[in-house]
Structure 1
Amino acid sequence: MCSLLINLTRFGDLIQTQPVLSGLAARKQALDLVCLQSFSSAAELLRDVDHIWPLEGDQLLQDLDRNWLGSLSGIWNWSKQVAEGRGVPDHHEQDQAIYNVTPSMSARLMARLVSLQGGQAAGMPPPQVHGFSMDDLGFGASDTPWAMFLLASSDNRAASPFNLSDVLWKAAGLGDAPRPLGVRRPGSEGLKDARELMQQKSPTAKGFVAMQLGASNDTRRWPVASFARLGQALWREHELMPVLVGGKSETHLGRRFQDSGAPCINLMGQTSLKELAAVLAQVECLVSNDTGTMHLAAGLGTPMAALFLATAQPWDTGPYLPGAICVEPDMACHPCGFDHSCPQKEACRKAITPELIQSLVVGRILGQDKASKGKTAPGARIWETCWDSHHFHDLRSLSGHEITDRTQWLRVQRRLYSQFLDQRGLDDIEGDTDQWRPELSRESRSSALETLGQANKVLDLLKEQAVLLTANPAAPIKNVFLASWRRVGEIFSASPLFSALDLMWNAQSQESGRDMASISQHIANYSSLVSAWSGLLK
């Protein structure tokens, strides 16, 4: 069997598809990967990939601006090249499959074109597209609720309880099974060169701590001054030498670190991705913002303390590595929404102190200071990554934040969404009076139950109207039915606790709109979810 995975995203997101790649490879599938040309070197760090097809995304966008018709021809020809390039004798099998984990319409179009031309090249029906696809009329389509949930939850920071790697795994149809960990490790020569380089630059150091100063956005970046204070303390008190890593665009941050007088080995902008991997594999630990470097280090098994500021949160983009330490500010507004204008002058960036990170690095990660191992600090939520009984990435609170409304609500969503998106029955949740119950405040519980009660009434009404509409599809009944349908989405969208369900409800409505039987089943599914949710909260 041969599969093609399309991932046209950035460095960190590309690294986070490693479990999916390994999961598909475990099925004895030959596996090709389509990625952006600018991240093809990152793709070379991934295991279980037989061939990489780099796409010149920048050139494609320029062509679209100059001549969109000619650009479409270019996309067609490139897709044909991929399809035919995969059409070697071993790939002439009817069980070929395409997995697209990029929701953009351009990626959906590419997946469809490769599928059509792949079938044509092999003289067989087009291979099925899993994940994000496109229907015959050019509209977006998905073959699994997990793909729809990824879209719905990405814009709602309160409704994103699963790690991205887990959602991609489920969207690929890989089921409940342990997720293989680990990217391709650097060769022995590369590891040796990295260690010798650091030892030559700091021969008296007892160890090395990598630091990633940059982030995708300045609002998500811990201040350089905080990194510098941490670096000074690690060297002064423990003889641990900071090693600065990052790209050429971040070198100004390294200069600011050095200008502070803090000791360091500055490798920013001086390493290829393979050399960066070797450095990360040879340091004692990493301190990083939520970055591609963090995900690469997790894939290499490097211990770390990761900071999640502004829109970043460890629940959905935390390191896919057990035992990693994640720190975020303990502020009511965190994590904030995308395109959010901060009224608090980015106070979250200074809420986490260098002293706290030092205690976590030295005490909990390196185990050198037993007195500081259990240290916490006001203003911070501290988590340790782990796996739950269903093989999902999970977080264990080290700072007493498990019994908070935010954490408990995330637990509720994990419990319900995992079964709902797997399209398993929810009767066991609704009828089980002895199961786990969330410890929510009275205010949060009442607010959630009120929304669920409203939705339940309208869903019951929709069931009755669907019966009438099936028997008599007259225009007045259709109009009443559509008004009730829109009302369900409005109820969900009005509550921050359920706004992701609004997007899910509408997206799945398009998928189920083929006939009244499918529509009725869609209503019944959401009615069951709402009932189970209410039962869990009562």
Structure 2
Amino acid sequence: MKQYLVIQVARFGDLVQTKRLIASLTARGDGDVHVLVDKSLKSLAESVYPQAIIHGITAHATALDAKSAMRAILIDNRKAFDDLASIGFDEVYNLNFSPLGFRIAALFDPETVHGHRWKNGQEIIPEWAAMAMRWTGNRRLGINIADFWAAYTSPMLPGPQINPPAHPKGGGPGIVLAGRESRRSLPPQELAAVTAVLAARHPGPVLLLGSASEASTGREVMNCMPTALRERTRNLAGKTDWKELVEIVDSLDVLVTPDTGTMHLAAHLGTPVQAFFLSSAWCFETGPYGEGHTVYQAVQDCLPCLETAPCPYRIKCLTPFSDSAFPRFIATGKPEILPQGVTVFETAFDPLGLTFRPTHGIDMEQEARGAFRRFLGSHLGVWDAAIHPFDTTLAEQLHQPKDWTTKPKKTVY
């Protein structure tokens, strides 16, 4: 039997978004699929990927001081690296553009490595990733990261087969209190207003979800609620382990969330997502994967931005979500009251993978994005260029001469 290894030592959301690649390798049916993760995510990975063999290493060591972190990464991981090197993998998929990712890739014959490789002491960036670096000059035309990673293999499982269609589970609404990037999150008052609308639609408890550091945010949200809603609400921030989080999210009627790992977990489980994307979050890159999800996307000219840089516009992308008309729109669906600066998108699929169709508001890049997706689909061999021709200027912009020597992958849809 063949042995496949997927290296995904990034964080929670990235782990779940690797599903299309892992599912595509598993569907081959000719070997074992191994997944390497940060050991803090090992139990979650075992839940999300029960068909895979999960390996854990210390990749982040965020709870350790600098000296202990260095020891954990360079010394304590040695046995895990030795064990991996001894397996004799037929194919290795390194998804992480990071110093650690390249060093892990160096354990293996570079000819077996897809993605970022280490060869003769040099970091080798694959052509597919190099193309992506070129198109990130206009991130509004990007593709979902789950589809990007899956394109390292062939054939890819069709996008609609990856996650189950979403449907309410009967357990009431869940509210994710904050994302890892602070500017992506709604303030407590706005979050409480949205929660009130969805709680009126879904009976049962209202569950606030997050890490221990967000427990105080949960209390602020509850303080903004009317008394009756507060009495239905439980602040579970910092009170769930991975197993409990999976069970809770799998029981919900809906998950209200910014762009978070919990959002991707909900999509994996088929729990409906109502997501708000602003600041650096862009649904076409990292939106919930599957049928039956909704994203309220901020569409200011400056978006999506880089959160590492200060915002010169006083986070104006938050303004539509702070408008009292926003929760009223969620309650009524009346297009005339949707605040300017938000477009409502529903998840959809095309031959390339996940995309979004606008249901309210304007998608100014819809035509350009369609041309971009046709080009990438033709490059990968999943879109018939004879039937759906693409704009050749895109090839001139995104290809380098040596890219033309790369044979397109073939995927059956």
User: Where on the TM-score scale, by shorter chain, does this alignment land: which range?
Assistant: 0.7 to 0.9
C-alpha root-mean-square deviation of aligned residues, in Å? 3.6
Match of 1:385 among 344, 347, 358: 347
The match for 1:108 is 102
The match for 1:21 is 22
Q: Deviations over 1:391-446 (max 9, x none)?
A: 510111101424x2x332222221223323559997x59xx8xx689xxxxxxxxx
Output aligned runs, 1:80-99, within 5 Å: 80-84=82-86, 86=87, 96-99=90-93
The match for 1:259 is 223
Q: Deviations over 1:128-153 (max 9, x none)?
A: 111111122322242xx333334445
Match of 1:218 among 177, 182, 190: 182
- 1:251/1:268 contact within 8 Å kept: yes
Higher strand share: 2
How much does 1:218 deviate? 1.1
The match for 2:333 is 372
Distance across 2 between alignment mates of 1:140 and 1:319: 30
- Aligned residue identity for 1:147: A
Q: Deviations over 1:269-288 (max 9, x none)?
A: 11112211111111111110
How much does 1:381 deviate? 0.5
Q: Cα–Cα, structure 1 residues 75 and 349, in superposed 2: closer, same or farther, change >3 Å?
A: same
The match for 1:484 is none
Distance across 2 between alignment mates of 1:304 and 1:60: 29
Q: Match of 1:398, SS?
A: strand
Q: Match of 1:215, SS?
A: coil
Q: Does 1:313 align with 2:285?
A: no
Match of 1:271 among 230, 235, 240: 240
The match for 1:462 is none
Distance across 2 between alignment mates of 1:358 and 1:325: 16
The match for 2:56 is 54
Distance across 1 between alignment mates of 2:105 and 2:8: 10
Q: Match of 1:351, SS?
A: helix
The match for 1:248 is 212
Distance across 2 between alignment mates of 1:60 and 1:340: 22
Q: Match of 1:350, SS?
A: helix
Q: Does 1:165 align with 2:146?
A: yes
How much does 1:314 deviate? 0.4
Q: Cα–Cα, structure 1 residues 269 and 436, in superposed 2: closer, same or farther, change >3 Å?
A: same
The match for 2:300 is 331
Q: Match of 1:332, SS?
A: coil
Q: Deviations over 1:84-121 (max 9, x none)?
A: 3x36xxxxxxx7211111121321221221x25xxxxx
- 2:375/2:390 contact within 8 Å kept: no
The match for 2:357 is 396
- Aligned residue identity for 1:301: G
Q: Cα–Cα, structure 1 residues 157 and 245, in superposed 2: closer, same or farther, change >3 Å?
A: farther
How much does 1:179 deviate? 5.7
Q: Cα–Cα, structure 1 residues 75 and 179, in superposed 2: closer, same or farther, change >3 Å?
A: farther
Distance across 1 between alignment mates of 2:147 and 2:317: 28
Distance across 2 between alignment mates of 1:276 and 1:75: 28
- Aligned residue identity for 2:309: H
- Unaligned regions of 5+ residues in structure 1, if any? 88-94, 117-125, 184-194, 196-205, 363-370, 438-448, 457-497, 506-520, 527-538
Q: Match of 2:300, SS?
A: coil
Q: Cα–Cα, structure 1 residues 178 and 339, in superposed 2: closer, same or farther, change >3 Å?
A: closer
The match for 1:356 is 326
Q: Does 1:415 align with 2:374?
A: yes
The match for 1:188 is none
Distance across 2 between alignment mates of 1:282 and 1:247: 19
How much does 1:3 deviate? 0.7
- 2:12/2:41 contact within 8 Å kept: yes
- Unaligned regions of 5+ residues in structure 2, if any? 407-413
Match of 1:346 among 294, 315, 321: 315
Distance across 2 between alignment mates of 1:216 and 1:59: 17
The match for 1:181 is 162
- 2:257/2:275 contact within 8 Å kept: yes
Tell me the percent identity. 25
Report the TM-score when normalising by structure 1. 0.64
Match of 1:140 among 101, 107, 124: 124
Q: Match of 2:250, SS?
A: helix
Q: Does 1:322 align with 2:291?
A: yes
Q: Match of 1:386, SS?
A: strand
The match for 2:410 is none
- 1:210/1:280 contact within 8 Å kept: yes
Higher helix share: 1
Q: How many residues align?
A: 393
Q: Deviations over 1:8-39 (max 9, x none)?
A: 11000101111211111111121111101122
Q: Larger RCO: Structure 1 or Structure 2 (Cα < 8 Å, ≥ 6 residues apart)?
A: 2
- 2:202/2:253 contact within 8 Å kept: no
- 1:6/1:107 contact within 8 Å kept: yes
Q: Cα–Cα, structure 1 residues 424 and 108, in superposed 2: closer, same or farther, change >3 Å?
A: farther
Distance across 1 between alignment mates of 2:72 and 2:193: 54
Distance across 2 between alignment mates of 1:398 and 1:176: 27
